[in-house]
Amino acid sequence: MPSSVWNPLLFVLLLILISSTFAVQPLPGSHRGTPSLVNRDQLARSSGYIFAGTVKAIERITPRGKDGVATILITFHVDKAIRGVRAGQTLTVHEWAGLWQSGERYRPGERVLLFLYPPSKLGLTSPVGGPMGRFRVDSGGRVVVPRRIGGQSPDPSARARFRGRTRMNIPDFVRAFGLMEAE
């Protein structure tokens, strides 16, 4: 190849290799990159808001000016308050639109239990640890326990709390994280 084509091509390939190497970083303490309850203390400690709620509305906000950030406004009804919110509250959070492009989306009517970071200086938040901080709640009000929880954890107490369980009521799930429900 001519050197004028080779250098930019090499640069792009090198950039892709480097960015893919650092694109997904597990939380400290995770086992071989597999999210597990070994991180439950960090998950709870890093959260500004913890609650079970129902998605009420979603709105995309286009950035103002060239330095603006595209965001998604997600409005929740808080069904069960655990930290930073009150039961019955309407909570609207701002998420970076890039998360939506990567597939992390909500749907109106969806029920979730979330561990959200405190809002950043820009007012943005997201689930702690990405998918680790987001759990589906079924129509009976039980948290759907993903396989990643407990089963592959090197922490024996985490494995014991979640062994064989595919769904848990919210109070039991919250207690497994060493948290108490808000009054």
Task: Provide the percentage of residues in the chain whose pLDDT is more than 90.
Answer: 38
Q: Which residues pair with 49 in a beta bridge?
A: 116
Asked if the model's pLDDT at residue 26 lies above 60, the reply is no
Q: Which residue has the higher pLDDT, 86 or 5?
A: 86
User: Can you tell me the mean pLDDT for 51-57?
Assistant: 97
Asked if the model's pLDDT at residue 155 lies above 80, the reply is no
In a domain, 66, yes or no: yes
pLDDT tier at 18, thresholds 50, 70, 90: very low
In a domain, 106, yes or no: yes
> Residue 78: which of 69, 67, 88 has the closest Cα?
88
Report the 10 Å Cβ neighbour count for 67.
6
H helix and E strand count, the chain: 5, 7
In a domain, 15, yes or no: no
107: Cβ contacts below 8 Å, ≥ 6 apart: 55, 58
What is the C-alpha to C-alpha distance for residues 148 and 94, in angstroms, rounded to an integer?
Answer: 27
In a domain, 73, yes or no: yes
Is the overall model pTM greater than 0.95, yes or no?
A: no
**CATH number for 122:** 2.40.50.140
Q: What's residue 27's pLDDT?
A: 37
In a domain, 27, yes or no: no
Domain that holds residue 67: 37-176
